[in-house]
């Protein structure tokens, strides 16, 4: 029997929806919970710890240089993320014993149960839940749309797919088009992006959680912009001057003048403090929009605040991600990252005393 057909010691094979998964024996009860263009996710139970995990198997990660680069980047970003509101990596493994036989690898992450998009369809969220969820979004702020926000039964939220969201829009499964949550400057490529493109997304999601329906439901890019301006009002001359393209300036000038809506009236049943948060986030001018740190300091979040816990992420080194490497080089880098992975040891509180 050749080595390639034999399973690695300590691993077992399981068939999930006509696909063979080769996983360490500690992972049992695999059930498919999602699939997209780049991979399939199963829930599983880790029998050593008794915890439920999500395991992602990438679809043929080394079929091309582009796929290999994407797979490497996803692994690196997940290894890098150590924030309680961003999905990080519990473990990574491959059943392939050597680089020349390396074809597949698996990413193990915490299992969350649902995403915010599904949760909003299932129930009207109470205001205190909205408050807690938005607080967590701001703490772990990255590319946001409701399908990217995983939630568990304790209403704890983690951001999924950090850093891959802007490329993976075509892969949206299970939730509406992300255009509804996109900042106006992204829709029309008006100006350089800043962190506040994500603040706009939080504002849209928060408004939807409080009202039960999406705030800006555009049918296409220009319709989206029209919907936005019905609420924000048409831009001021100062703002038009900042636009980088002459086409954008001409287009915005051609729009019929609309007055800004009073959000306190629009959300009359919602606490005024909550509406203030939305107002700071949904400003057309990205430079005027509130930053995550400033938003966290607003009175609306004061009961949750533990500023010492609001950690800034360490800078992420993009140097290898941005290089043009051959398929074999990406493969070697990925294999090295898997071998060097150190699982975090989480001590239980009792034993740490």
Mean pLDDT over 167-193 rounds to: 60
* Residue 351 predicted with pLDDT over 50: no
Q: 29 by DSSP, 3-state: which? A: strand
Q: Which residue has the tokens 């568990």?
A: 152
Sign of the C-alpha dihedral computed for residues 99, 69, 171 and 114 taken in this order: positive
Looking at 101-256, which runs of residues are DSSP E strands?
A: 106-110, 114-115, 149-151, 157-159
Q: Which pairs from 91-94 meet CB under 8 Å and 24+ separation?
A: 91/53, 91/341, 91/343, 92/337, 92/338, 92/341, 93/23, 93/24, 93/338, 94/335, 94/338
Element at 296 (helix H, strand E):
helix 292-296
Which one is predicted more confidently, 162 or 136?
136
Q: 19 by DSSP, 3-state: which? A: strand
Establish whether 52 is an annotated binding residue. Answer: no
* Residue 219 predicted with pLDDT over 80: yes
Q: Which residue has the tokens 């609306």?
A: 300
Active-site amino acid positions:
143
From CA 193, how far away is CA 73, in angstroms rounded? 21
Domains with residue ranges and CATH for the chain:
12-111 (3.30.200.20), 114-309 (1.10.510.10)
Mean of all residue pLDDT scores within the chain: 81
Share of the chain above pLDDT 70, in %: 82
Q: Is the pTM of this model over 0.75?
A: no
Residue 328 in tokens: 């074999």
Helix 127-139 to helix 272-281 angle, to the nearest 10 degrees?
30
């Amino acid at each position: 029997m050749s080595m390639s057909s034999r399973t690695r010691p300590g691993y077992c094979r399981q068939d999930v929806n006509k696909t063979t998964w080769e996983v360490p024996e500690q992972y049992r009860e695999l059930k498919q919970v999602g699939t997209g263009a780049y991979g399939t996710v199963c829930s599983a139970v880790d029998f050593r710890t008794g915890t439920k995990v999500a395991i992602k198997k990438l679809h043929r990660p080394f079929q091309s240089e582009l796929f290999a680069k994407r797979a490497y980047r996803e692994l690196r970003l997940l290894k890098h993320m150590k924030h309680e509101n961003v999905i990080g990596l519990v473990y990574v493994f491959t059943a392939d014993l050597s680089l020349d036989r390396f074809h597949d690898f698996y990413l193990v992450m915490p299992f969350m149960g649902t995403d915010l998009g599904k949760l909003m369809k299932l129930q009207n969220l109470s205001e205190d839940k909205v408050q807690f969820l938005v607080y967590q979004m701001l703490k772990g702020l990255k590319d946001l749309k409701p399908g990217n926000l995983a939630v568990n039964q304790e209403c704890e939220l983690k951001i999924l797919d950090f850093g891959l969201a802007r490329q993976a829009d075509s892969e949206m499964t299970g939730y509406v088009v992300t255009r509804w949550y996109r900042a106006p400057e992204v829709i029309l490529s008006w100006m350089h992006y800043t962190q506040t493109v994500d603040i706009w997304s939080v504002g849209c999601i928060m408004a939807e959680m409080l009202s039960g329906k999406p705030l800006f439901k555009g049918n296409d890019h220009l319709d989206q912009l029209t919907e936005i301006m019905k609420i924000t009002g048409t831009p001021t001359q100062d703002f038009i001057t900042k636009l980088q393209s002459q086409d954008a300036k001409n287009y915005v000038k051609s729009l019929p003048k609309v007055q800004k809506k009073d959000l306190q009236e629009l959300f009359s049943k919602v606490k005024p403090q909550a509406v203030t948060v939305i107002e700071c986030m949904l400003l057309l001018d990205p430079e005027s929009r509130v930053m995550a740190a400033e938003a966290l300091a607003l009175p609306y979040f004061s009961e949750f605040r533990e500023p010492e816990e609001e950690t800034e992420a360490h800078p992420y080194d993009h140097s290898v991600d941005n290089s043009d490497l051959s398929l074999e080089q990406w493969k070697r880098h990925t294999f090295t990252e898997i071998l060097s992975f150190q699982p975090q040891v989480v001590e239980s509180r009792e034993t740490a005393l």
